[in-house]
A and B are shown apart, each in its own frame.
Chain A
Amino acid sequence: MNITTQEKPAELAICARQLNLWYGTFQALFEVDLDIRKGMITSLIGPSGCGKSTFLRSINRINERLGYVRINGRVELFDQDIYAPEVELVQLRKQVGMVFQRPNPLPTSIRENILFGHKLHNKRSSRAEQDEIVESALQQVLLWEKVKDRLHHKATTLSLEEQQKLCIARLLPVKPRILLMDEPCSALDPKGTEAVEELIWELRGRYSILVVTHNMAQARRASEECIFMLMGKVVEHTPTHQMFVTPAQQETADYIEGRYG
């Protein structure tokens, strides 16, 4: 029995096939094929300009705001083609939350930050309902105990680490299925980094998480699978422990040993 469950293909959160992307005439992604499993933390590593952020941004289609982006190939989230004509970007972005390099809380209160997304997508909600949403979101990011007495304070008065946690919490009320994180710890000090990494680890299972990082140690500590990209191509995609112990490709080995990048 055990063998059959292992042979059954894992459920996929993200499936990219033959994905090519151009910024104007510059091709940033080449024939990217990736299967990213549901409920896992997958990290994307590679030197600057290798296309990892570009790939991340083609999953919530935020790239398209730049008018000169051209894409071909296929990206499916949970078996649904997200470049199909009937896709509503608002629905897509609701289900694919994104966390940025620099925490970007809105210049309102902590409470309003959490409720922002909820209010965008829901007509009316009672005070009690809102209270519950705020508490549950902050509980999930391990921030509730710290800020429960100052929910009406400006979000920008929090420390960077807390701001970044708040930015993650802010996504949760609209019930995303995928969380994209673009170097979520690079603006934080080591202690903050550790705290946010712990949080990401905590969220594993409930959400499918894709983390772009420059920090090799972070990829190693806080992800289950790891993708190495180079010059717009996927070089290697293996379980994290395997990539860092026995990389299959020479380029991967060179990169993780710090020979370039």
Chain B
Amino acid sequence: MDNHMFAATELNQKNQRTEKLVRLLFILMAGLLILPVLIILFTLVYKGSSILSIDFLFTNPTNGMTEGGIFPALLGTIWLVVVALIVSVPLGIAAAIYLSEYAPDNWGTRLINLAIINLAGVPSIVHALFGLGAFVVFFNFGTSILAASLTLAIMTLPVVIVATRESLQAVPHAFREACWNMGATRWQTIRRVVLPNAVSGILTGVILEVSRSAGETAPIMFTGAVFFSPFLPQGVMDQTMAMSLHLFVVSTQVPNVPENLPYGVALVLIGMVLIMNSISIAFRMHLRGKKKW
């Protein structure tokens, strides 16, 4: 069969070898991405799971934070995230609706878009200092959950805006045309047709925001989170402990911490975020299953 009409030439064979090599390289690179995730999770579980217990979750730290649980930090993080969401979700969705549904294409709109992109690019430590200047000092909220959550809200606003705007724009234009031509106003169109079909995308933005707010340390360090507090926060004007800062503290600032404590804190933090994410993902899939076009 040497002289088969369609047999591979030497050049063909060389190209095929390169093809295989390149493909292998790409697979390897993509595979490498999983590695850090697996290593992190494995290490955390391996080194931290021994400390996990109901008591660990629901008691105060004791003995200079080398023993006891993490309850104030856990509760504090929930406070911070919830208050940040209360501020940024309505604000972000409203801004995104304006940008997607109302805004004319002019320099003003482009300026707003530019601001959003820039806001997303500001390092978190700069947000922290801004929050300190604006909320703690200027508005005189003091170091408090309110000041810290507002800082987190501003930091995560671009995420909510961008995700919402994209999901609004993913709703087919034909739906809007149909509504306008039946005499619906813009708001009626948005409320009855556009928003209900964009919920799942908006939720994605909110999920991302939750994960980010729960994990950020810098923005809350100067604005509302404290090293140690024996008291649970009673309201938004109180200071609070937080998981991310607590992890930093027990890992680097406190002597004689048993090895499994910081790993345990990290494991709980990751677990919190994962649980919140999976709830919203499940909810999103439920919504997606219902829509079809």
Q: B182 touches which one: A67, A94, A105, A156 (CB < 8 A)?
A: A94
Taking a contact as CB atoms under 8 Å apart, the answer to whether A98 and B185 are in contact is: no
Residues of B within 8 A of A92 (CB): 183
Known A-B contacts A106-B193, A107-B197, A120-B188; A90 and B175 likewise in contact (beta carbons under 8 Å): no
Known A-B contacts A106-B193, A116-B192, A156-B293; A91 and B183 likewise in contact (beta carbons under 8 Å): yes
A89 nearest in chain B by CB position: B183
Known A-B contacts A104-B174, A116-B192, A156-B292; A62 and B181 likewise in contact (beta carbons under 8 Å): yes
Q: B184 touches which one: A65, A120, A167, A171 (CB < 8 A)?
A: A120
Taking a contact as CB atoms under 8 Å apart, the answer to whether A93 and B292 are in contact is: no
Q: For chain B residues 169-196, which have a beta carbon within 8 Å of chain A?
A: 172, 174-175, 177-185, 188, 192-193
Taking a contact as CB atoms under 8 Å apart, the answer to whether B183 and A117 are in contact is: yes
Query: Can you add 18 more A-B contacts, CB < 8 Å, to A117-B182, A120-B184?
Result: A60-B181, A62-B180, A65-B180, A89-B183, A91-B183, A93-B183, A94-B183, A98-B181, A100-B178, A102-B174, A104-B174, A106-B175, A120-B188, A154-B292, A157-B292, A170-B182, A174-B182, A174-B183
Docked Cα-Cα span, A5 to B193, in Å, equals 49
B104 at the A/B interface (Cβ < 8 Å)? yes
Residues of B within 8 A of A148 (CB): none
Q: List 21 A-B contacts (CB under 8 A).
A: A67-B104, A89-B183, A90-B183, A91-B183, A92-B183, A93-B181, A94-B183, A98-B181, A105-B178, A106-B175, A106-B179, A107-B193, A107-B197, A107-B293, A116-B179, A116-B182, A117-B182, A117-B183, A120-B184, A157-B292, A167-B178
B20 at the A/B interface (Cβ < 8 Å)? no
A17 at the A/B interface (Cβ < 8 Å)? no
Chain A CB within 10 Å — which of B177, B179, B183, B293 has the most?
A: B183
Known A-B contacts A106-B175, A156-B292, A167-B178; A121 and B197 likewise in contact (beta carbons under 8 Å): no
Residues of B within 8 A of A51 (CB): none
Docked Cα-Cα span, A91 to B182, in Å, equals 9
B291 nearest in chain A by CB position: A107
Q: A121 touches which one: B104, B175, B183, B291 (CB < 8 A)?
A: B183
How many chain B residues touch A (Cβ–Cβ < 8 Å)?
20
Residues of A within 8 A of B104 (CB): 67
Q: A100 touches which one: B174, B184, B185, B192 (CB < 8 A)?
A: B174
A46 at the A/B interface (Cβ < 8 Å)? no
Distance in Å from the Cβ of A69 to the closest Cβ of chain B? 14
Residues of A within 8 A of B183 (CB): 89-94, 117, 120-121, 174
Known A-B contacts A106-B193, A107-B293, A156-B292; A90 and B178 likewise in contact (beta carbons under 8 Å): no
A97 at the A/B interface (Cβ < 8 Å)? yes
